[in-house]
Structures are given as structure tokens and as C-alpha cells.
Structure 1
Amino acid sequence: MPSAIFPEEIIVEILLRLPVRSLLQFRCVCKFWKNLISDPQFAKSHVLSSTAYPQLVSIDIGIAKSDIVSYPLKQLLENPNPSAGVKSAFFLSRQRTSMIGSCNGLICFFNSLRSTFKLRNPAMKLKSKTSPKIFTCFDRKKILYSGFGYDQVNDRYRVLAVVESCRISEGVKTIIYTFGEKNWTTVQNFPSRRDPNLWWCGKFVSGTLNWIVNKGRRRNSTNRSVIVSFDLEKETYAEILLPQHDCDNVCNPVLYVSSNNCICVSFDHPKKTHWVVWIMKEYGVVESWTKLMIIPQDMLISDFRNRCMSDALFITEHEVLLLRPNQYKLVVYKLNNNSGLDYRSEILGKFAHRLHIYHESLVSPQWLKRSQRRNKRKMKQELGSTKHYL
């Protein structure tokens, strides 16, 4: 009996929903599959079509090296035992590095010793050249906050940094770098003020980088707090109002992005009675703020200052919220139809202080491919030499 032949468009739709590792192996099936999977447009479509669960990535910093490790979120949600699902290190770094953010399968890292940025696609074993230095160790400068994201209009991956100098004459300056180019450029008219409550890594959503900035004088007061949004294409900024609160003063606002690419913000109640999460269903539209859930204080874990150290990391379609009350434990809260809690489960283990959501992808811009030749032999050894056929 002759084998069934699928139409070309059906094959494409099937491949778009496969994980990256399978696609890398299936390039050996035939020339058409190889060309298709290697097509940059296919890689972009795969980012939008992939149904694979993301990973929770962190940096394990040692004395002489830094390991980039990942935890499959699906396994964490279904089996609260991280040791069973932890992956080996993405790569080893002999220098202290921090993770700025992840977008389209690319992770942005900052080397604090060299004051440079670099991109990596761990799934493709690719990396970019390092960015030019922001400053040298003799400049007496520091980064107040930064962010990494994607300009879809111009197909550019960019990192923004707000740099403060100890010299009064230089003050604070905002600069931006486009990966693949040679120099940093200055951003004019950006509100680069110092804010001790600011989370220095901006959140990327809908072509913008976002931070919560407190414009008031009182610390931990959100009466004057707003979301500062920077457009990566136009290099302009705007302010987005936070949701209306249930009381006059809500503490410790935290900004993050949900799994369906929506801005979310959480608050502590000033009387330490509960913790609340809001979601902006339509980006930039203040009227679309919707209260997602409320968790009583006694169900959270606080530090010695009696502050709710909660950080929402992931929300699934079934409204499962993954939280990090402190750096040693993850907690999963499952919601019912009334936004109440059905139950919670704890995931034990020692996790890094800062965790990021990472989606594997085939994205490999031209300026990333320069390292592909060096990794070709290594990738063949990992994937195996056996060809796969239908």
C-alpha cells in the first residue's frame, strides 16, 4: 500500500508545532524540510505557533564560573520535584554574568566585569559578539536599570541601559544598542531618574520595555507610581497608569508579563492582609485592568521584615499562577472560576534569586550565525548522525 502524502501546507502546520530539538533533527529528512526549517520566516512563525511549554531559567553563580540551568515548567507544575526535571547547564561562563531578559528564544546577558552585553540562543548553540563596553572600571559609573526586547518593525534586537556617573557634570544618561551594530547611541528625553524601588530589568511586551517608577516622595507608596513604557522602534516613551487600588496606599508594586503577553502588576496591602494581582488585557488601555486574584497574607511566605516576597512568574490558560515567595521555594496556586483558590502546592529546592521565562526557538539572525560554523560539529555529535525518515 503506498504511503499517504500530505499536502505541503499541512506538513508546514505540523512542523510549526513541534519542539526545536525535533525540528533540528528533521532537517535530515529531505531537502525541502531542511530549507523550510532553516528559513528565517519559518523560525518567526514557529515562535508564534509553538505550543511547547517554556522553561524557567536561572544562573547558578559559583566562585569561578556561572552555570545557566533550566527547569521545564510543565514538569514543575505537574510534579513538584525540581531535581527530577532540572536540565544540565546551557553553558559555562568563567566570569560573573547576569540575565537581563529573554525574547523569541534569545537570552540577553550582562557581564558586570567587562560592562558588556551578549545574546545567546541556547537551543541553536549560537551567540552574538559582545556589545561595545558601556564604561570601564575607572569611569565610576553604574547601570541604574536596563531592558532587552525586540523591534518587530525593523527586525532588531535591542538593549537599553540607564547609566549614572558619579561626576555631577555627567549625571544620568540613557543609551541603546542594537545587536549586530558597532556603537551605542544616546536616547534623548527619556525620564532616566534614580528610583531606589525600581526593578532594574525592564519587562518586554508588545514592542516596548516597561518599568514601574515611583514619582512621589514617599517610599513604598504607589500613589504616584506609573509604568514607564519605552517604544523600541520609535525610541519614545509614555506613562501608563496603574490600576485603581482598593485603598489609598498599596505597597511594593511588582511588574511582570503573563504567558499570553499581557502586562501584570501585583501589590501588597499596607496592613499586610493580602496580596493582589492585576492584569492589563489590552496593552496601554487603562480601562482593561482586571483584578485576577487575591491571596490572603497567611498563605504567603514573608521575610524577616514581614514583607510579602511574592513574584508572579507564569500564568497558564487554566489560570495557574506560579509564585516565588523567596529564593528557596516556588508555590503553585490554582484558581477556580471565581478567582478563588482551589489549592496550592509547594516546590522545594534552592532556586536562584532572579528567574526568567525562556521559550526555545529557531531564531538565528545573521549576526548570530557567525558562531554557527564553530558549533556545527558539536551539534552533530549531540543530535546524532542517524537520519530520520517518515
Structure 2
Amino acid sequence: MNSHGDGFFPDEVVLQILARLPVKSLFRSKTVCKLWYRLSSDKYFVHLYNELSVKNLMVLVEVSEASESKSCLICVDNLRGVSEFSLDFLKDRVKVRASCNGLLCCSSIPDKGVYYICNPMTRELRLLPRSRERPVTRFYPDGEAILVGLACDSSSQKFKVVLAGYHRSFGHRSDGTFICLVFDSELNKWTKFVSFQDDHFTHMNRNQVVFVNGSLHWLTGSCSGVLVLDLDCDVWRKMPLPEQVSYGSTGNRIYLLESDGCLSLVQISDAWMNIWVLKDYEREEWQLADRVSLRCIRGLVPGIFPISQTGEYVFLATHKQVLVYQRKNRVWKEMYSVKNGSTLPLWFSAHAFRSTILSCH
């Protein structure tokens, strides 16, 4: 037995095995003995488990049944297949707004301005303080934020939530004032700052927010660049796209993803999928990492949307399917398909996801 923290824990070989279990299996193993029961609260083991988990990227899809008012969450894992779970432990009807390293940011559907952070695998939740003082009225019409971002540092186990949007004066669509609220989990409070932005965002690039290098990144609707929020100093800035993407790319669709800790762009045309990776973040130097033929799925190309990726595979969603492309052997595979009526396309509510035991508190 080895000593970790204040007590004794199984030796390193056993820890390595337990750290590779799914979260549900890990929690079931607590009944084996007192030592295993304490593992999920041991700092060394939690760090080990999450360090391994973040390498296995998945897809989380919120599926709404046409015949029912409720929705369920489908998790698609390249290693373990498909599993289903719910957010019923929140005791509120919610919509998933952002995902980062196993934590979800959810907004209440019936109660505007109410946000939760939860870990759906451990079923732990945290209700955030109210982000606004005034209720939504026609004189104060600011609704839900245009951009919602979640930044979760798996090593420090701290997180930040970002709500950003345009202030709308009564009788005006927008006056150009971009208000940003940032919640710090350590301080347990919101801070507010104002800037001036004139960018627009489609539903897809609002959804695909990427947390890397201490910053949150969104692709603008016009694909003119990447909007970056540096969370260390609360400063917005713009980052250019690769020249080959910025110019002469009419007819292409562009998406912002993460790739093994790096910022990545996925460019889709009728016949090809090009994957760009920002190899040098400070110098803003992009590199073409992969070029994938779409000939095998030609009929699905107009409706495919990349959701998450690693150096080994790419997950993509269509209206009713989740596909995975294995980059090493260049094989396409259907991982999940909606068997009955669904009110929305799958890509409309799909997020990159990791299965961790990170705490919300």
C-alpha cells in the first residue's frame, strides 16, 4: 500500500486501473472497502483520474422527443459507445449552454437569468448567484446572453462562467455596448465590464466556444476572425484565421474546435475537410494538420457539423446521426442515430464533452 494525503491507498498499479474506469463503475467500486470509498475525495487520485479522462473526448447531445416535452442527454464515446442520462437531479427544466472538461453550464428555461454548473456524471450541482439585479421587462429587455462560455481548469479545479451580449436600450435594437459578466467559482461572485463589439454570431458558432491557453474563443458569424476573451485580464481581442481560410474560401463552412489542447479550425467543402491547428499560440501560426476526403459520405456533406476532435478521431453530427471519423485508418462509422421523431437536428444541441470527477464546489 502507498500513502497519499493523510491515509493509505492502494498501490499505483491498482490506482491506474481504477482511474480508467467509467465514473459509474468507479462510484460502484466504493462499496469494496473503506480505502476505495475515499478515493474520489483524494487529491492525488482525482488529479490522476481527470488527467486520463480529458484525453478521451466525447459528444454530448440533448435529444428532444417529438412526442414528449422532456429531453434526454446522449453521450457518445469513441471507446465505450453510447450511454444515456438525465439532468433530473437539477429539479428544473434547463438547457445546456456550454461544456468544459466534464462540467456543464445550464440555464433555467422557466426562470430567466438562473444558471447552474453541474457534473452530470457525479450528479453534483451548484446554483450560481443571480447574474442580474433587474427582472426582464419591456423597459429592461436584455434577455439571455448571446455568448455563454465555461472555462474549467482541471488542474486547479476552478472554473469561470462568461455571459456576454449587447445592451439594448428601450426602442433600439442595439447601441453597440457589449456587456460581459464573469463568474469566478473561487470568489463566488460576478464581475462586470463593458467593451464595444460589432460582431455577429450564428447559433453554431455561439455553441462552439473553445477554452485553451487561459482564454475563451468564438468564431464570428462572418468568419472574419476569432473573438478571444483573455480571462486573466478580462480583455477582448481578435485573432486572424489562416490566410488560406480567410481568402478565396467562398462556399466553405468553418467551425472552431479544440484539438488536444490547441485551438483548431475545421473547414468543410463539398469534397474535403481540412483541419487546421494553431501550433504557436503567441505568434498566431496555423498549421494544416489533416486533409480528409468526404467522398465516402458525399450525401451527408451538406448537413454535417464537426462537434469535437482529438488527434485520433473527429466526431460529426447530422440531423439524426452522430458519425466518427478515425484519422489513422481513415474509416467512417455511425455511432448513434435517432430512431424516432426529434424536434431539432442533433448538431443544434451537441457539445464536446469529457467524463471527469471534477467538483462544482
TM tier relative to shorter chain: 0.7 to 0.9
Cα shift at 1:195: 0.7
CA 1:346–1:50 in structure 2 vs 1: closer, same or farther (change >3 Å)? closer
1:356 and 2:355 correspond: no
1:249 and 2:249 correspond: yes
1:204 and 2:204 correspond: no
Which residue of structure 1 lines up, in the alignment, with residue 264 of structure 2?
264
Could you list the per-position Cα deviations for residues 55-84 of structure 1 after superposition, in whole angstroms to 9, with x for gaps in the alignment? 4322234664333332333355xxxxxxxx
Which residue of structure 2 lines up, in the alignment, with residue 383 of structure 1?
none
Cα shift at 1:47: 0.6
In structure 1, C-alpha distance between the alignment counterparts of 2:100 and 2:334, rounded to whole Å: 28
Which residue of structure 2 lines up, in the alignment, with residue 382 of structure 1?
none
Secondary structure in 2 aligned to 1:266?
A: strand
CA 1:181–1:327 in structure 2 vs 1: closer, same or farther (change >3 Å)? farther
Report the structure number with the largest CA radius of gyration. Answer: 1
In structure 2, C-alpha distance between the alignment counterparts of 1:136 and 1:301, rounded to whole Å: 47
In structure 1, C-alpha distance between the alignment counterparts of 2:146 and 2:74, rounded to whole Å: 26
Q: How many residues align structurally?
A: 331
From 190, 193, 196, the equivalent of 2:198 is 193
Structure 1 unaligned runs (5+)?
1-5, 77-84, 215-219, 368-390
In structure 2, C-alpha distance between the alignment counterparts of 1:122 and 1:105, rounded to whole Å: 8
8 Å CA contact 1:109, 1:119 repeated in 2: yes
Q: Supply the AA of the counterpart residue of 2:321.
A: K
CA 1:122–1:345 in structure 2 vs 1: closer, same or farther (change >3 Å)? closer
- What pairs with 1:211-290 in structure 2 (closer than 5 Å)? 211-213=218-220, 220=222, 222=223, 225-245=224-244, 248-250=248-250, 251-258=252-259, 260-269=260-269, 272=270, 274-290=272-288
CA 1:361–1:261 in structure 2 vs 1: closer, same or farther (change >3 Å)? same
Which residue of structure 1 lines up, in the alignment, with residue 342 of structure 2?
none
In structure 1, C-alpha distance between the alignment counterparts of 2:282 and 2:14, rounded to whole Å: 37
From 55, 60, 77, the equivalent of 1:57 is 60
In structure 2, C-alpha distance between the alignment counterparts of 1:37 and 1:158, rounded to whole Å: 23
CA 1:316–1:52 in structure 2 vs 1: closer, same or farther (change >3 Å)? closer
In structure 2, C-alpha distance between the alignment counterparts of 1:16 and 1:93, rounded to whole Å: 27
In structure 2, C-alpha distance between the alignment counterparts of 1:93 and 1:35, rounded to whole Å: 25
In structure 2, C-alpha distance between the alignment counterparts of 1:101 and 1:9, rounded to whole Å: 35
8 Å CA contact 1:322, 1:330 repeated in 2: yes
CA 1:180–1:60 in structure 2 vs 1: closer, same or farther (change >3 Å)? farther
Secondary structure in 2 aligned to 1:108?
A: strand
Cα shift at 1:200: 1.6
Q: Indicate the larger mover: 101-110 or 193-202.
A: 193-202
In structure 2, C-alpha distance between the alignment counterparts of 1:194 and 1:156, rounded to whole Å: 29
In structure 2, C-alpha distance between the alignment counterparts of 1:51 and 1:196, rounded to whole Å: 28
In structure 1, C-alpha distance between the alignment counterparts of 2:354 and 2:16, rounded to whole Å: 19
8 Å CA contact 1:67, 1:93 repeated in 2: no
In structure 1, C-alpha distance between the alignment counterparts of 2:176 and 2:313, rounded to whole Å: 47
Secondary structure in 2 aligned to 1:43?
A: helix
In structure 2, C-alpha distance between the alignment counterparts of 1:153 and 1:20, rounded to whole Å: 18
Cα shift at 1:97: 2.7
Secondary structure in 1 aligned to 2:290?
A: strand
Cα shift at 1:153: 8.2
CA 1:183–1:327 in structure 2 vs 1: closer, same or farther (change >3 Å)? same
Could you list the per-position Cα deviations for residues 186-242 of structure 1 after superposition, in whole angstroms to 9, with x for gaps in the alignment? 1344x543414472232222332101136xxxxx4x4xx222222223323443321
Cα shift at 1:128: 0.6
8 Å CA contact 1:150, 1:232 repeated in 2: no
8 Å CA contact 1:97, 1:111 repeated in 2: yes
- What pairs with 1:139-150 in structure 2 (closer than 5 Å)? 139-142=140-143, 143-150=145-152
In structure 2, C-alpha distance between the alignment counterparts of 1:7 and 1:92, rounded to whole Å: 32
Q: Supply the AA of the counterpart residue of 2:148.
A: S
Which residue of structure 2 lines up, in the alignment, with residue 173 of structure 1?
179
Secondary structure in 2 aligned to 1:361?
A: coil
Q: Supply the AA of the counterpart residue of 1:101.
A: A
8 Å CA contact 1:131, 1:179 repeated in 2: no
TM-score in terms of structure 2 length: 0.76
More strand by share: 2
Which residue of structure 1 lines up, in the alignment, with residue 118 of structure 2?
120
Which residue of structure 2 lines up, in the alignment, with residue 16 of structure 1?
19
In structure 1, C-alpha distance between the alignment counterparts of 2:230 and 2:163, rounded to whole Å: 14
8 Å CA contact 1:65, 1:93 repeated in 2: no
CA 1:186–1:292 in structure 2 vs 1: closer, same or farther (change >3 Å)? same
Give the alignment's Cα RMSD to 1 decimal. Answer: 3.4
In structure 2, C-alpha distance between the alignment counterparts of 1:315 and 1:170, rounded to whole Å: 35
CA 1:283–1:14 in structure 2 vs 1: closer, same or farther (change >3 Å)? farther
Structure 2 unaligned runs (5+)?
1-8, 339-344
In structure 2, C-alpha distance between the alignment counterparts of 1:102 and 1:176, rounded to whole Å: 16
Secondary structure in 1 aligned to 2:302?
A: coil
CA 1:102–1:345 in structure 2 vs 1: closer, same or farther (change >3 Å)? same
Which residue of structure 2 lines up, in the alignment, with residue 376 of structure 1?
none
Which residue of structure 2 lines up, in the alignment, with residue 46 of structure 1?
49
8 Å CA contact 2:308, 2:351 repeated in 1: no
TM-score in terms of structure 1 length: 0.71
Cα shift at 1:255: 0.5
